[in-house]
Amino acid sequence: MNDKNNSTKPRQGFLPITTNLFDRVFISVVILVAIHLLWMRFLEALLPLWIATILSLVLAVIILKWG
Amino acid sequence: MQSPRTGWGLLAPTLIILAITGLLPFLYVVYVGFFDWNPFAATKDMVFAGVNNYRRLVFDNDFLQSLGRTLVFAVCAVASELVLGFLLAQTLTKEFPGKTFFRTVFALPLMVAPIAVGATWRLLTMPGLGPLPYYLDKLFGLNYNIGIFSDQATLTLVLMDIWHWTPFVTLVFLAGLISLPKEPFEQAQVDGANRWQIFRYLTVPMLMPIILTTVFIRMMDALRIVDEAWMLTNGGPGTSTLFIGIHIWRIVFPKTDYGYGSAMSLLVLYLTIVLCWLLFVAITSARQHEVEGMRG
Amino acid sequence: MSANKHPLYAARKAWTLVPALVMTLAACAAPPPAAAPAAPAAEQPAAPAAEMSFWAKAAEPYKGVTIRGISESTPPSNYVKDVLAPAFEKETGIRVDFETTSWDQQYDKAIKDMEAGTGIYDFVYIEQDIIYSYLKNNYLTNLTQMLKDKPELASPDFDISKFTSFINYFKDPSTGDVYGIPMEAFVKVYVYRKDLFDDPEVQKAFKEKTGRDLKPATTFEEYAEIADFFTEWGKDKELWGTTVQAVTGHPASFYEFFETIAPSFGVYNWGISQDYRASVDKGGSLNGDKAKKALEFWVGQLKNAPPEATKSTWDEVAATFAAGRAAQGWIYGENVAWIASDPTRSKVVGKVGVALPPTAEGVIEEAKAGKGYIGYYDGGAFGIPVSSKNKEAALLWLQYIGQPAVQPEWAAKSARIVHTDTFNDPKVAEMDTQTNGYYTLLREQGPLFAGAPPFPFHAQLREVIAPFIYKAITGELSPSDALDQAAKAADEELVKLGYAK
Amino acid sequence: MRRVPRNIGLTVLWIGVTILTLFPIYWLFVISARSRVELFEPQRLIQTTFFAENYIRPLSDRTFRGYIINSVIIATGNALLVTILAVAATYALSRYRLKGSSNIFFWTITNRMAPPAAFLLPLFLLYARVLKIGDWKMFDTHIGLILLYCVFNLPFAIWLLKSIMDGIPIELDEAARVDGATTRMVLFRIIIPLAAPGIAITAILSWVFAWNEYLFAATLTSVTARTITTGLAEFVTVTGTNWGEMAAVSVIALLPALLFLALVQKYIVIGLTFGAVK
């Protein structure tokens, strides 16, 4: 096997399970959606939605890199 | 190890068909979910609405309640099916007169179309027409009317689902039980373990992957129940059995609120996928556990 | 371990069973060749020779064309499918593929087709209540215009003026042009058990109890009194005082309330005002006193109805009455005929009385003055979607089913009347006697009834209001609260849809 | 010593279970044998009369026989297609180290999860407007439904067959390969024979699911490819649900499935056993 990209290989990061790249993208998307929904329900009256977007994107990067 | 190209080749037709019939409509639904679109509104065109549909959704009590009662229904039904299925599967591992016959007949409900299941149960439970209300009243003096009492209607739906799907769960469990290795059980008996201990420390852990897989496949189907419930209760009495599948149906069909209905569908799909993904992860790690346990 | 010794190797036989099974099945299911001759040929309506040549001549260019239509599976539709379509094909060479399906499916599919402009259907069933939605979206072909534009397609025998007033519902109010050819029409009437009402003993018992003579109710007080009496009297006879079409989860209960009960209490057009407002403080009357009184009355009658009432759509209500389980009730006219005449489906053949529904004070006068109505005039028509690719052939077909020659037989088979002349037909007169005057009532009192209000948002608003009616039925909300909340929700929806400012 | 009475107890228990299982189906049959005037007789559990018209009318109706034939074609076509695709796919997922194969596996399964109502509009557009060649549309064709049913049957089949494939020792493949067998030979000589019971179960369950499907068939067919389950809905009309005929058609629709069940009951558990091991 000559994988060009190592990230598709399963690995153990700070997430409790072994993940590969797809898993981490999937988890990021799930969290992104969840944050937005909860934000709209509970926080949007106080803070605009784009804060949620930035927050979840940051989180996504963290997960993709170190998850 | 063979070349991945052959592997992809074998996989390709499946992926193509699912992409056309699954992914393409999904993308379209995602797209529509961002629009206000009802052909019978004053303006029949699609109007871009950003995340407004979702904003409405998280505050929509009808939707949230519907979600809640679907979850309650699915958990009740699947849990009962698991317990019943397990007990019945246990009995089927033993020999007794007529076993093959019973096992065959038992699988019958699996073969009935969901819409016919709903119709059958409706005939069974319809006040004035069905034997169930009649005999419950005659024998126990019980006023059974699923057109009036919401808890009875929910219970009837759970019973119907149990009737329809317990055979499936039983057969899967039976298959699992048969294929368990004999040695650990014999060893445990030699060691003087009682039945409960054997069940708790041997059977359950060894069956875990199967239990989880069954929960997985059953939850997935129970959460999107439509045909049976539609036929049996129409979501009534009141709105007490208006499961999410029927709720979406109402929004998309008679109300023709395509945008909102699409957003709602997606949110439900999202929740189902997350739930099933958690189960999936649990299954995978349970299997790994098992493999390691065998090796160790 | 070698493959052959695998314990499951023997089970391989299962695999070989599958194709064998499939073949067996296919053999079982296949129809015997040429087993089904065109049975309806014998029932073909006899048309004069001159007309036959018109159909054949006009259809010449469209020979071999297949037109496709969709409708609800009702007796009138099934008659079209089984009798008229084959007859038409025989005369013209135009094939009619007619899909009959359930009520919600036919809506859904026709709307999808017309909205997307796919042109699958060349004619669609238009129920009276949906026509305004279709017209708003320009789904339908203007038939008057088309007949004018293509005189060679106009049958000399087809005449709009021969239709009953029901055809007015399928005209564009502003131009008077026709968009649909009526194929069924009924009114929802008050039915009662004539045998019980005429029974001297029952009459005596009623007189003793109430001090009044037992006769069909004309007011709601009388109706309730009769219902109370029969519920009490029929306790051990499987008989109740009234039917109530009170299924929850299905629009049938919404319709019984808003199309039959509310109007006869004087609440018209669902209580929605001219400028599309529902609640009283905005100018509507959905939660007005009259509406609340009506809902209270109707829900109150549940105690006099058989236990299946809260699971009853229009189907079960008719079945209940046909089974002799109710002394009186409101029944859609298309059911009255079979309840009164078909012994394989009904236990009350010859025992059915038909009358105008009871009304609140002043409502009849308002209806006669054209300011109101006392119940529902229902029915449907066939129209041609703008997206159809075979409009000419479809136009011929619609005229074919609208011609006088086919009407009497069709009316006798499925209890629907759309031509004024059909009332005079001997077959219909005979049915009229059997139903104790349903057809006379339809003919003479028809104008007192009305179709659904001209809303382009019919189904949309119904779905918003209906859950509150369901909750009033189950007792979750009091009638008053239910209507207050319904009015509020209706107002919000109308704003959201963009109809109310 | 206790064994004999206890197992008799099991028989008694199963007699009870069987009665509970069969009663709703029995009642369906009872209703199918009743005329409309007999409907409101809940106290009569034993049906002595038989109102044959409920069966004769739909069976003598050409369109209805057509529905049955359509159902047979579609269910069979779909079951065969799904089985072939699933065998190939699960073999690939099980034997080749494909990038992200567990993700692909999960994705295929998610296709079964969607609440169908909202997806009918895009499917309708797809079938009526996009997938067409000249005048021919995918709408209202057998092939259309055969392909569409893959959406819910393929995930199920892949789920079932994947564990069966995993359960077949890889050493068998490798030994054959050493002897010079090609992929096709491995598949046909080793994998398919060994997985046969599981494959049969997959095919049968797919067939049953396809036979029973209602919503897609109702929306995406019109005249030529309508199936028997959509025919059931035709009995719910304004002039009275024709419960008798509806029940009769339900009974008729149940028969082929029953036949299947009787013929293959032996293999059901064996088939699932394989799948359940891992």
The H or E element containing residue B35 is strand B35-36
Task: Give residue A4's pLDDT.
Answer: 42
Q: Could you state, in order of their start, the residue ranges of all structural domains in chain C?
A: 45-140+142-178+379-442, 187-376+450-497
pLDDT score of B290 more than 80: no
CA–CA dist D66, D57 (Å, integer): 14
Do the two chains B and C touch, given a threshold of 8 Å on CB pairs and at least 3 pairs? yes
What contacts B75, CB < 8 A, 6 or more positions away? none
Lowest-pLDDT choice from B207-211, C78-82, C141-145, D146-150: B207-211
Tokens of C42: 């014998």
Residue among D23, D112, D183 minimizing CB distance to B220: D112
Give buried/exposed letters for C432-453 (b at 16+ CB in 10 A, else e).
Answer: bebbbbbbebbbebbebbbbbb
Write out pLDDT tens, residues C121-143: 999 999 998 999 999 999 999 99
Residues of chain C with pLDDT under 50: 1-51
B160 and B232 in contact (C-beta within 8 Å)? yes
Strand partners, C385: C140
With CB atoms and an 8 Å threshold, state whether D203 touches C18: yes
**Cα separation, C320 vs C328, whole angstroms:** 11
Q: Which domains does chain B show, CATH number per domain?
A: 60-258+271-295 (1.10.3720.10)
Instruction: Answer yes or no: is pLDDT of A2 > 60.
Output: no
- C-alpha–C-alpha distance, residues D150 and D78, integer Å: 7
pLDDT of residue C259: 94
Q: Residues of B with CB below 8 A from A1's CB?
A: 1
Nearest residue to B156 (alpha-carbon basis) of C308, C305, D24: D24
d(CA B189, CA B292): 24
User: Which pLDDT value is given to residue D276?
Assistant: 44
pLDDT value of position D115: 85
Question: Please, what is the average pLDDT of chain B?
Answer: 88
Contact A35, A58 (CB under 8 A): no
Provide the domain limits for residue A52: 19-66
| Average pLDDT along chain C | 86
Closest partner residue to D103 (CB to CB) among A1, A3, A23 is A23
B77: Cβ contacts below 8 Å, ≥ 6 apart:
B157, B158, B161, B162, B165, B222
Task: Find out whether C188 and C260 touch, Cβ atoms under 8 Å.
Answer: yes
D245 or D235, greater pLDDT: D245
Cβ atoms within 10 A of the Cβ of B277, count? Answer: 18
Long-range Cβ contacts of C58-62 (<8 Å, 24+ apart)? C58/C92, C58/C152, C58/C153, C58/C155, C58/C396, C59/C91, C59/C92, C59/C93, C59/C94, C59/C393, C59/C396, C61/C392, C62/C92, C62/C93, C62/C94, C62/C390, C62/C392, C62/C393, C62/C396
Nearest-CA residue of chain A relative to D97?
A1
Which pLDDT score is estimated for D6? 60
pLDDT band at B75 (very low <50, low <70, confident <90, very high): very high
Contact C456, B39 (CB under 8 A): no
The answer to whether the CB atoms of B242 and C249 lie below 8 A apart is yes
Identify whether the C-beta of residue C178 lies closer than 8 Å to the C-beta of residue C365.
Answer: no
Angle at B192 between CA B189 and CA B195, to 5 degrees: 65
- Map out the domains of chain D with their CATH numbers: 1-51 (no CATH), 54-277 (1.10.3720.10)
Q: What is the mean predicted confidence (pLDDT) over B128-151? A: 90
Whether A6 is in a domain gets the answer no
Q: Extract the tokens encoding C3.
A: 């493959």
Whether D103 has its CB under 8 Å from any CB of chain A: the answer is yes
B291: pLDDT strictly greater than 80:
no
Which of B8, B15, B96, B170 is the best substitution to test chain D (most D C-beta atoms within 10 A)? B96
DSSP state, C326? B
Contacts of residue B239, Cβ cutoff 8 Å, sequence gap at least 6:
B62, B65, B66, C248, C249, C467, C470, C471
Query: Can you give the pLDDT at residue C41?
Result: 40
Neighbours of chain C (3+ CB pairs under 8 A): B, D
- On whether any CB of chain D is under 8 Å from the CB of B106, the answer is yes
Cβ atoms < 10 Å from Cβ of D118: 29
C138 Rama class: left (phi>0) / alpha (psi -120 to 50) / beta? left
Asked if the model's pLDDT at residue B217 lies above 90, the reply is: no
pLDDT at B184 over 90: no
CATH of C187-376+450-497, one of 3.40.50.12280, 3.40.50.12500, 3.40.190.10, 3.90.1150.10: 3.40.190.10
Tell me whether residue A5 is in a domain: no
The Cα of A63 is separated from the nearest Cα of chain B by a number of Å equal to 17
**Token digits of residue C198:** 């005429």
**Residue D113 sits at the chain A interface (C-beta within 8 Å):** no
Give kind and range of the element (H or E) at residue C53: helix C49-58
Q: Give the pLDDT confidence of D19-30 residue by residue, as tens digits.
A: 999 999 999 999
Q: How far is B79 from chain D (nearest CA, A)?
A: 18
Interface of D with C in 58-87 (CB under 8 A): 60, 62, 65-66, 68-69, 72, 76, 79
| Set of chain C residues whose Cβ sits within 8 Å of the Cβ of B42 | 497-499
CA C346 to CA C356: how far, in whole Å?
22
User: Which of the residues C5, C18, C129 would you substitute to probe the D interface, choosing the one with the greatest number of D C-beta atoms within 10 Å?
Assistant: C18
Among C72, C471, C461, which Cα is nearest to C249's? C471
Q: Does residue A38 sit within a domain?
A: yes
Q: What is the pLDDT of residue D164?
A: 80
Q: Would you state the pLDDT for residue B79?
A: 96
What does the alpha-carbon distance between residue D69 and residue D55 come to, in Å, rounded to a whole number? 17
Tell me whether residues B237 and C308 touch, CB distance under 8 A: no
β-pair type (C328-332, C95-101): unpaired
The closest alpha carbon to C260, from C248, C245, C247, belongs to: C245
**Per residue, what are the HEC states of B55-122?**
HHHHHCHHHHHHHHHHHHHHHHHHHHHHHHHHHHHHHHCCCCCCHHHHHHHHCHHHHCCHHHHHHHHH
Q: How many other CB atoms are there within 10 angstroms of residue D52's CB atom?
A: 12
In this prediction, residue C378 carries a pLDDT of 87
- In order, the DSSP letters of D178-215 are HTT--HHHIIIIIIHHHHHHHHHHHHHHHHHHHHH--H
**Cβ–Cβ < 8 Å for C120, D125:** no
3-state secondary structure of B232: helix
Distance of alpha carbon C322 from alpha carbon C335, whole angstroms:
9
| C-beta atoms of C307 and B233 within 8 A | no
D2 vs B152, more confident? B152
What is the distance in angstroms between the Cα of D107 and the nearest Cα belonging to chain A?
11
Residue C99 β-bridge partners: C70
Task: Report the C-alpha gap between B61 and B38 in whole angstroms.
Answer: 21
What confidence score (pLDDT) does residue D236 get?
67
pLDDT of residue A20: 83
Calculate mean pLDDT across residues D144-158.
Answer: 92
Give the number of domains in chain A. 1
pLDDT value for D89:
94
Domain C45-140+142-178+379-442 belongs in CATH node 2.40.170.20: no
pLDDT of residue B157: 96
Asked if C125 contacts C106 with a C-beta cutoff of 8 angstroms, the reply is yes
Measured between CA atoms, how close is D9 to chain C, in angstroms? Answer: 31
pLDDT value, residue A32: 94
Q: Give the nearest chain B residue to C108 (CA atoms).
A: B253
ipTM of the complex: 0.87
The per-residue pLDDT for range D44-81, each reduced to its tens digit, is: 888 888 888 889 988 888 888 889 899 999 999 999 99
B224–D contact, CB cutoff 8 A: yes
**Binding-face residues of D in 112-151 toward B, CB within 8 A:** 112-123, 125-126, 147-148, 150-151
- What is the signed CA dihedral for C2, C4, C7, C10, rounded to 10 degrees? 170
pLDDT for residue A10: 73
Chain mean pLDDT for chain D: 85
CB proximity D97 to A under 8 Å: yes
User: pLDDT tier at D16 (50, 70, 90 boundaries)?
Assistant: very high
Shortest CA gap D103–chain A (Å): 7
Residue type, C221: E
